[in-house]
Structure 1
Amino acid sequence: MRKKWIAKKAAFIATAAAFMVALFSAPASAAAYDVYYYETHAQADNSPGNGAASWVWVYNGGGFGVVAGSVDYQLRDGSSGSLVVYGSAASRSLNSDVRQIRACQEWVNYNTGLFYWTCSGWSAVS
């Protein structure tokens, strides 16, 4: 009787584990490309699954001296753009695949009162 119970329990655990893997695994074609720059996190996806050709997202958590964050993007059709957030997150669907992105951050120098932007390097999105 005890062996049957253990076998049933093991089968249940194996089935539940397989279900969780299937539920939370992303398909091989789904790939978001990430770029981090201090408190800014940027992403791009050329297969977003929402009907658009691509998608960009940016998050900026703020922090001492940090005013804003942005994702700059260059598209395969030759156009480019930027999505800016102030201590929050935002996304944008696009009509062309993203070629490359970079994360940027706006800072304030409290000694001079001047604002300036700095950015990561460009990251290719395939």
Structure 2
Amino acid sequence: MALKNLKRAAAAVAAMAAVGVGSGFVAPSSASAATQNTGFISHWYKGAYFEGQADNNPGGGSESWIWAADYTHGDGYGVQVNVQHTDGSYSTWGPALDGTATRGLDKDIRRFQLCVINWSYVNQSCSAWKYL
């Protein structure tokens, strides 16, 4: 009896899927096809771990928002965030040293990356760019 019910449920799902396709409903081919409002990056460098996040719809009066975290304390490294805005301009924010930091921005973000810096503010390593 359970097998019969399972077959009926599968047939009903297949019928609904056929109706959805026949009525012009098309699912996006991938999540990247749609515009993303947020992005997340994690980055490792010589045993140190960093994260960053950006949001183009944060609320609270800012056009965009960035957050960075340095999770490996006392190692002589910090993280800064490089941002390309949708108007083509660039900005650099940070560093976050031995903890987390956030910042509201007055322009939307096109892409961002994390860069590991040492205590002398010399760039050591950058992540790939993350597009929003």
**What is the TM-score with the length of structure 2 in the denominator?**
0.60
Match of 1:98 among 99, 109, 124: 109
Which aligned segments of 4 or more residues in structure 1 are displaced greater than 2 angstroms? Answer: 62-66
Match of 2:129 in 1: 122
For the 8 Å contact 2:69–2:79, the answer to whether it is kept is yes
Paired AA for residue 43 in structure 2:
Y
Match of 1:54 among 57, 60, 64: 64
**What is the TM-score with the length of structure 1 in the denominator?**
0.63
CA deviation map 1:7-47 (0-9, x unaligned): xxxxxxxxxxxxxxxxxxxxxxx953101111110110000
| Structure 2: gaps (5+ residues) | 1-35
Number of residue pairs the alignment of both structures matches: 92
- CA–CA distance in 1 between the matches of 2:61 and 2:88? 21
1:80-91 aligned within 5 A: 80-83=90-93, 84-91=95-102
For the 8 Å contact 1:66–1:105, the answer to whether it is kept is no
Match of 1:32 in 2: 38
Alpha-carbon spacing, 1:98–1:31, altered in 2? closer, same or farther (3 Å) = closer
Q: Secondary structure at the match of 1:105?
A: strand
Give the RMSD, CA atoms, in angstroms. 2.5
Paired AA for residue 40 in structure 2:
D
Offset of 1:76 from its aligned partner?
Answer: 0.8
| Structure 1: gaps (5+ residues) | 1-29, 109-114
Q: Secondary structure at the match of 2:58?
A: coil
